[in-house]
């Protein structure tokens, strides 16, 4: 019974995250950028890898999901933005992120640093609009 409650809770959390993403499109581009970055980092923190993968280009999603599928015992304690360089009138930005994690059975917290390039896509329908990570996710240590 507890397992079923957890499944319902997780499904609700994912749905809520996706609905929150859909509200981004009536906002200025710089607000969409900030919300997208924050949603991506929160999805990593909460192990919502499918939600995080939606911010990547379709061709990079399966590799990203495969990376975290292998890391079943990972616990991400924090994801933070270190640096942000904006270009192309706010429609492109480069970020440096740090992710603190521990991988059981170890309880030592480690830090993984990686860079991402984000680009705004203005597709014809709302499912194609928004910021996407155009770099592939780096190899996890």
What integer pLDDT is reported at residue 1 of this predicted model?
Answer: 67
Contacts of 67 (CB under 8 A, 6+ apart): 137, 139, 140
The structural domains of the chain, with segments of one domain joined by +, span 2-133
The share of the chain scoring above pLDDT 70, in percent, equals: 78
Q: Which CATH class is domain 2-133?
A: alpha beta
Contacts of 30 (CB under 8 A, 6+ apart): 90
DSSP string, 103-122: ETT----EEEEEEEEEEEE-
Residue 67 has pLDDT above 60, yes or no: yes
Average pLDDT, whole number, for the chain?
A: 86
């Amino acid at each position: 019974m507890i397992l079923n409650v957890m499944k319902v809770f997780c499904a609700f959390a994912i749905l809520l995250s996706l609905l929150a993403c859909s509200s981004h499109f009536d906002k200025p581009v710089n607000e969409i950028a900030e919300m997208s970055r924050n949603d991506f980092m929160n999805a990593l923190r909460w192990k919502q890898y499918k939600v995080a993968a939606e911010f990547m280009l379709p061709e990079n999603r399966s590799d990203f999901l495969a990376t975290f599928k292998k890391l079943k015992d990972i616990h991400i304690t924090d994801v933070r933005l270190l640096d942000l360089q904006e270009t192309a009138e706010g429609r492109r930005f480069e970020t440096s992120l740090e992710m603190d994690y521990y991988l059981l059975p170890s309880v030592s917290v480690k830090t993984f640093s990686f860079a991402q390039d984000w680009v705004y896509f203005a597709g014809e329908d709302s499912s194609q609009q928004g910021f996407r990570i155009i770099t592939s996710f780096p190899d996890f240590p």
